[in-house]
Structure 1
Amino acid sequence: MKIYIAIFYCLLFFSCHSSNDTEIAQDKVEDYLTRIQKTGNYEPILYGELDSSFTSVKETELYKEYDQRRGAFEALEILKRQHPDIFSDEESKSNIEKGKYYQVICDSLESVFVAEFNGWKIQHIYKLKNDKNELVVNNYIFFLDKDLQTVIKKEQVYRNLPFKTYNQNTDYYGIKNKQ
């Protein structure tokens, strides 16, 4: 019986701890948004789950450099399709090969990269009035440091969606539920 009670208290402790972390993250996001909003009319709608955040190979300078080069050769090939006389067939083949070469490098970097825990992330939908005094809805993923003290960056999911549009189908524009 004592084991069951000990397990119950452990579960209770960890579930409360998780809830507190979520509340802390939500408070930090709200503080961040109220500080940066010029109009002062921020209104929260919905939060997603607090989740771990990890480093990404796509954020490294080396990966960005090779991906940019790959993209440049891909753009040249698109340009060639739109204007067939701009490059010779040999130049076009060379561009395709160089694009593939840089893609292989990017794939290689992805395969050896080891992601590391770098903090937390939480998705948030909120409404506010824009510069034209219209109600709009924004949806961002906010990244916080390991100690849940500071918002370190945000990624846009969508922004400036008219509130009327959002209200028509909140499931479509909302945060996906895990099932």
Structure 2
Amino acid sequence: MSAHRTPWWQYVLAMLAGLVGGMMAATYDERSGAGVLGAPWFVSALLLALGVTVLVLALQVHRYTTTDPRKRAELKPLDPQKAVSTLVLAKALGLAGAALVGWYGGQILLSVAHFEAEYYRQAVIECAVAAVVCLIDMVIGIVGEWLCQLPPMDGPESTAAKTRGRRRNMAQATAKTSH
């Protein structure tokens, strides 16, 4: 399986999509009075707990993959499925965090004009807290994705192996021409 890092522009795109969605939700709320703005405090706490969980899992994967193979016997074996699942979680957390930063940011942008009203003030504060938590989750997702990288292997396709092969070939060619 080959996994690639999430490109930076996907985070920007997720934020922009979230921003548009958040602005649409704020506009709908203002016109209909539906009361859909903000985020309950437990949502922010849950998102933060999710981010910490993904970070802990990613650190476990990183510790295992960067430990010298001779010393890995001392560590608890790492299930490859757990490592892949942690990578997928980190990617999802980063992109979802970016989209939610945009979502809550869009609500803040359109609600801050009505900050003097108690409902909007509460919604802006809730959205600000949620946006900060989601930004932390996005960073944890990006870092977690990096932590789940496998170290380069010294197989025939590695840069080091190719360099050694070129040096060996040059040495053999030099040895043949000197005879």
| TM-score, reference length from structure 2 | 0.27
Query: In terms of Rg, which structure is larger?
Result: 2
More strand by share: 1
Q: Which one scores higher on RCO, CA 8 angstroms, separation ≥ 6?
A: 2
More helix by share: 2
| TM-score, reference length from structure 1 | 0.27
